[in-house]
Amino acid sequence: MRFKKLLLALRPDVGISNERSRERWLEATLAAVPAGSRILDAGAGTQRYRRFCAHLNYVSQDFGEYDGSGDNAGLQTGDFDYGALDLVCDIASIPEADASFDAIMCVEVLEHVPHPELAIREFARLLRPGGRLIVTAPFCSLTHFAPYHFCTGFSRYWYEHHMKEHGLRIDELTPNGNYFEFLAQEMYRIPSIASRYSKSRPGPFALLSMALLLRTLKRLSRRDTNSSETLCYGFHVVARKCESAATGESPREAPR
């Protein structure tokens, strides 16, 4: 943490935009959902995005079993408060009628679902025709919230396959970050991961080298064209439920 604070003081401005970019996108995307729409926050966790849904009829769902420490492996939160959930159940079996939601959001959840394609199928059942599915998930992630961590991430091809399979047309599929930003993000973790798993920390020369490499990554990221096709933080996805399961349409990638 001290290393990250030092680097931030030097304003590298690289590898720190993952959550900020996602939340800005999510706020704008939810603002576009018509007022009064019934929205399901699937895998709501601590319901941190309820604040973007003041104009909507918000319904929270989670399985409610994570306690902040999990099995103590990987990255854990230390504490976790779900608050008052509306629905406590399996995300792939939600006790609501068909076509009962105008919109569903599922934010950074799918990697914690044993069979994420079944969650997509359930969302398709719950959405009314034309309803919006708003999803984000990592393209690559370290083990976190274990033992409830089942997938390391989701590519654009996963979304293209499973959305179409369940009668959902992708309106937007936007990468968050790029290869260079992702590498920079993980560099900030090196001192804490080294301390935990190798019982040592990088010395002054190593830290200086890392700082210089971060400056290089910042420069490369500014010149980036399409490295997100190999690696990025994750994808921001908006899909709509089709009248028919067969769409035959290709997704549109939003400008970055």
Q: Residue 156 corresponds to which tokens in the numbers above?
A: 């654009």
Name the CATH superfamily, with its identifier, for domain 33-177+232-241: Vaccinia Virus protein VP39 (3.40.50.150)
Q: What is the pLDDT of residues 67-124, one digit of tens each?
A: 999 999 999 999 999 999 999 999 999 999 999 999 999 999 999 999 999 999 999 9
- What is the DSSP-derived secondary structure letter of residue 166? T
* Average of per-residue pLDDT across 40-49: 98
Asked if the model's pLDDT at residue 246 lies above 70, the reply is no
Q: What is the Cα–Cα distance from 19 to 254, expressed in whole angstroms?
A: 19
Query: Which position has the token pair 């399985």?
Result: 63
Q: What is the Cα–Cα distance from 227 to 236, expressed in whole angstroms?
A: 16
| Contact criterion met (CB below 8 Å) for 139 and 233 | yes
Q: Report the 10 Å Cβ neighbour count for 191.
A: 19
What pLDDT does 108 receive? Answer: 98
Query: What is the percent of the chain with per-residue pLDDT over 70, rounded to a whole number?
Result: 90
Tell me the pLDDT of the chain averaged across its residues: 92
| Contact criterion met (CB below 8 Å) for 92 and 115 | yes
What pLDDT does 249 receive? Answer: 44
Percentages helix, strand, coil for the chain (3-state, rounded to 5) are 35, 20, 45
Q: Residue 16 corresponds to which tokens in the numbers above?
A: 């720190």
| Contact criterion met (CB below 8 Å) for 102 and 38 | yes
Q: Within 13 Å of residue 95, how many CA atoms lie on the same side as its CB?
A: 6
* Residue range(s) in the chain whose domain bears CATH number 3.40.50.150: 33-177+232-241
Asked if the model's pLDDT at residue 243 lies above 90, the reply is no
